[in-house]
Structure 1
Amino acid sequence: MFTVTFVLHEKSGSDRSEALQYWRTTHADVVRRVPGVAHYVQQHALGAPEGEPPFLGVASLSFADEAAFGVAAGSEEFAAAVADVANFADADRLPTAFTEDVVIVG
């Protein structure tokens, strides 16, 4: 598997619960159309030890391999998914990395 992970930050002036709902429903439907996505996970930040979470959440998209990601990244559907981020999160703050799952328990 080849995985790309995004950290999403709140959009200034937006309602957090509405942003999370949009992400869970409308944005998820956009991502479902990206070719080659084998696994898509959203992790919504609901709280933090200090109170408010420092970000909206994390999303990971997994593909069969790096070549499959390359095809997806060059697609209109992927471009639409990236563009849609501005509808619920801060599109200018979207740290992204290629990641590997290292399972310690489970």
Structure 2
Amino acid sequence: MAIPITPTEDVEYVSPTEASERGYGSRASIHRWAQEGSIRSITVAGRLRVCAEDCEARMRENRVIQPRRAYNAVAQRLAKVAPAFTPEQKRQLVELLSN
């Protein structure tokens, strides 16, 4: 349910519950983002409403995978389960995973 703010502002504001149901994050996270000011929010009749567009952007931002961290985690798991490598093999593995 959209709540218009002014006739010239085309922004959809939804309840934290609706934002959570849309998959933007937990209700607690959405409340925290509103309190921090990292998403636009308003209070209408004593009820918090948050900008759906801001919630979606915040969700996308949080789901960004950082490749270097992902590769490092994979390399560490491989090192734990892989058979012992020779120093040359270890160097080659590090080189391959670093590119």
The interval holding the TM-score normalised by the smaller chain is under 0.3
TM-score, normalised via structure 2 length: 0.23
Greater RCO (CA < 8 Å, at least 6 residues apart): 1
TM-score, normalised via structure 1 length: 0.22
More strand by share: 1
Larger-Rg structure: 2
